[in-house]
Structure 1
């Protein structure tokens, strides 16, 4: 069974019904490790050695987060700056190159309706387009980009809808290469 690392970047996970439903759906699957990065690094100081070791030990990587103002939460950006800069600019031969080919999946939640993420919608761009910087990062790092797992209308979703989303998420993760 492949080792799947899910790094959850949610600034207020205790209030998130959607991200909690996703995590609960995969918690019992074999080979899954979920790390609540906000709880891990509540002070914002990232243990780069530990994060590099986590990435190198994983067969598949999932970055899970709510989209905030068309971007990732601040801790995810700080994590990228600290961990990926070291792995790919300072220690490429010993670390960065070892990630080549590992699949990476983005699991993003959004509070708005899908129609808001369209050229004529309130947000002007699709959610998929807003994730292009992460896709570019994956490409630069040699990671195998997977089609993102996206959930909309999370603030209005009822328990049944979130449970179904969790089941889809678990299925998607189990089918990662």
Structure 2
């Protein structure tokens, strides 16, 4: 099964963690760096719809910023999924049904900050509800998110471990196996 990763870091050159994940993912997926592909923010909705439909799985990879994905990913979702689900429902939107959607994110705070009693006051699942709702609306299978926490100053070992876990998760996704927690 073919996997498409949409990397939505607004400044990819500044992210050791996201770039380490992408390096580990390269053998397992098609990678699109949205900031490089669309520096002016003008999304090619038709081209992106075709790219999505050429893959079995979709991964949205991004740094969690102010409790949400970066604006470029929201713009991509608005342009591409609106086209697919509402404008071309019969020819594109219905084809999304059954495809898997995985969110892979990095967060600057440690994991315990993402609890109801943690510093942020919300769980990661709560913060990702809009993306889960999007997956459901599109008929896609929502998968438990892949998260790497505490990435402000990650050690080389932590980056290597995160990359290995990500590669394993993507291999499982491509083989249609359950993802490890």
1:148 aligned partner: 145
Asked if residue 100 in structure 1 is aligned to residue 101 in structure 2, the reply is no
Asked if residue 58 in structure 1 is aligned to residue 52 in structure 2, the reply is no
1:22 aligned partner: 21
Q: Structure 1 regions of 5+ residues with no counterpart?
A: none
CA deviation string 1:91-128 (max 9, x = no partner)? 10011001110011100110001111112222100122
In the TM superposition, structure 1's runs of 4+ consecutive aligned residues that sit over 3 Å from their partners are none
Q: Quick one: distance in 2 between partners of 1:35 and 1:163?
A: 21
Q: Quick one: distance in 1 between partners of 2:110 and 2:25?
A: 25
Q: Structure 2 regions of 5+ residues with no counterpart?
A: 177-181
Corresponding residue pairs, total: 174
1:84 aligned partner: 81
Q: Quick one: distance in 1 between partners of 2:167 and 2:139?
A: 25
CA deviation string 1:32-67 (max 9, x = no partner)? 210101100000000111100001100111110000
1:122 maps to which of 119, 123, 126: 119
Q: Quick one: distance in 1 between partners of 2:3 and 2:105?
A: 17
Give TM-score, length-normalised by structure 2.
0.94
2:34 aligned partner: 37
Asked if residue 131 in structure 1 is aligned to residue 128 in structure 2, the reply is yes
Give TM-score, length-normalised by structure 1.
0.96
Q: What is the SS of the residue equivalent to 1:79?
A: helix
1:6 aligned partner: 5
Q: Quick one: distance in 2 between partners of 1:60 and 1:88?
A: 17
2:68 maps to which of 67, 71, 77: 71
Q: Quick one: distance in 1 between partners of 2:25 and 2:61?
A: 12
CA deviation after TM superposition for structure 1 residue 156, in Å: 2.3
CA deviation after TM superposition for structure 1 residue 28, in Å: 2.5
